[in-house]
Structure 1
Amino acid sequence: MKKSKRIRLKDLRAIYQLLGECREMGDDHTLWKAHWAKGVAKLVDADMIMSGGLTGWRTGRLERMEDSFWSSNPNLDLTPWFRSLELWDEGGIDYQVLLPTFAESFQGQPSITTERQRLMDDKTWYRSFEFQEIHRQLEVDNILVTIQEMQSQTNDAYHTALIARQIGKQKYGAFELNLIQLIQEETAPLIGGALASVEEPKPSDLPPRVRQVLQCILEGDGDKQIAARLEISPHTVKQYVKTLFRFFQVNSRNELMARWIKRGWGRSFQWNQNL
């Protein structure tokens, strides 16, 4: 029986539940993006998602922002993925065929989701270096490519994702295309607001003790309470607080707390699970 193109009510509920969960961890872009990828994969039965930011879409001079990778196979050898990033950083995207063709076909359009088959024929794709040395090694094919304009300190910035299934699995249909397009339209406007962008400092980069102090501050503790709670000296607390001010480029506790309050970030503190 052919699958309907229409998005069902249960799909909408799943999308908004996923975005709500991402917002709970929206203060750290590494964490929410990993959760987003896992949730999207479940919705469209994907086995691998490469997502990130891209600039230069309108000009055709494509540059990548920070990328993330999710796979359903925890034991997958990621060497081809890291090699692809090295190739991009060393010489641009000349080694690719998929993204340049995508950019040439839809350059400047603010929102596009399409499948690989619409971009190039099988012969071109399966003979390409990109498939042979990257995707085949990662054991995936059947690809959707999606791009959506997003808020950024950099002009011409987009949220992108490459969504793939294992080689041999069923190709994506119109339903998955429509679903991914909707997910992108709902996700991208949140980036830079409820969802931290890759340009922002992330708490998970802080040392463990400093993360603990950050959580205490966000929960309303003063220096003495933090010192007692973490069993460290008040002097050490002050030093950690100064580190936080520098890291987040603020001048006071109020500014630091306002960063979380204004953005509506949750209190799950996924970046600090040891307190």
Structure 2
Amino acid sequence: MSKSQRVTAADEVAILRLMNECRELGDDAMAWQQRLISGLQKLTGGMVAAVGPTPPLRGELGVLQEWVGQQLGGGWPSESLRRKWEALAADPMAMQAHPAVSAFWAMPEPSLSLTRREIVPDHVWDRSPFVNDLLRADGMDEGLVSRADVPVIGGGYVLTVVRAKGEQAFSRRAGAVVAALLRELEPHLGRGLFLTSQPNLHGLSPRLRQVLGCLLDGDSEKEAALRCRLHPTTVHEYVKHLYRHFGVSSRAELLAYFLRRYPRR
């Protein structure tokens, strides 16, 4: 890779800053992924970006319908355009007509980061009815997609970004930057960065969070009651609520749950 195609020190700083901001919002799946989208747009100069989990790669296009249903997007020029493309994305037959998407999901490698030109050549792209009649007609064109296998979430995670019509194609450096961002994300997905399907701290009342903090500090229920100035019976009910919320049945399981997801706590 030539020097101009490498991730720069400034890129690395921007990626780490974005990661820190996402981790601060990690309990709220919607909030941290929206922040990730805006950061991805800024890092790459993209107009529209989408992020989200994907089912395990099965080497077939059937994964498309499951994948698009879990994506969170941002940067649409208008609400009507957003609704139009969400409807298109939900139609597996329509997405199979997208030359880059169909080629990308047919690739067997579980982890990839490729620009459109690395997926399909210009002559295929420029002659595609999907590209000309849909993408370019709506002011979009070049794309970049990166995916990684993340066993802890039972599948993978995908970053996609699209540039406005008339802008330059994504460079290999842009692909390297997005790949570096995804590598930083991987260890935290399903741990400090919660996904929508996982129970997390978001939605817990301040009192429940306070009692949870005591339990994670090693306090007994009686000690938690003293620290929180609550009746022991109330604390016991809070503990049962926390067990139900996180899908565990004991203090040991609760601690293990948080150690897996918050290893630096």
Q: State TM-score, norm by structure 1.
A: 0.71
Q: Output aligned runs, 1:113-262, within 5 Å.
A: 113-117=113-117, 118-119=119-120, 120-124=124-128, 125-129=130-134, 131=135, 136=138, 139-152=139-152, 154=154, 157-204=155-202, 206=203, 210-220=204-214, 222-223=224-225, 226=228, 239-252=237-250, 255-256=253-254, 258-262=256-260
In 2, the alpha carbon distance for the partners of 1:55 and 1:126 equals 26
Contact 1:151/1:188 (8 A) holds in 2:
no
Higher relative helix content: 2
In 1, the alpha carbon distance for the partners of 2:140 and 2:236 equals 50
Contact 1:150/1:159 (8 A) holds in 2:
yes
Q: Indicate yes or no: 2:5 matched with 1:10.
A: no
The residue number in structure 1 matching 2:102 is 100
- The residue type paired with residue 132 of structure 2 is R
CA-based RMSD: 3.3
Q: 1:183–1:5: structure 2 CA closer, same or farther, 3 Å change rule?
A: same
Post-superposition, which runs of at least 4 consecutive aligned residues in structure 1 deviate over 6 A? 233-237
Q: 1:50–1:102: structure 2 CA closer, same or farther, 3 Å change rule?
A: same
In 1, the alpha carbon distance for the partners of 2:212 and 2:240 equals 15
Alignment size in residue pairs: 243
The residue number in structure 2 matching 1:270 is none
In 1, the alpha carbon distance for the partners of 2:229 and 2:160 equals 46
Give how far 1:144 is off. Answer: 1.0
- The residue type paired with residue 174 of structure 1 is R
Unmatched tracts of structure 2, length 5 or more = 216-223
Q: 1:253–1:56: structure 2 CA closer, same or farther, 3 Å change rule?
A: closer
Q: State TM-score, norm by structure 2.
A: 0.73
The residue number in structure 2 matching 1:112 is 112
Give how far 1:218 is off. Answer: 4.0
Unmatched tracts of structure 1, length 5 or more = 268-275
Give how far 1:248 is off. Answer: 1.0
Q: 1:28–1:256: structure 2 CA closer, same or farther, 3 Å change rule?
A: farther
Q: 1:241–1:77: structure 2 CA closer, same or farther, 3 Å change rule?
A: farther
Identity across matched positions, percent: 23
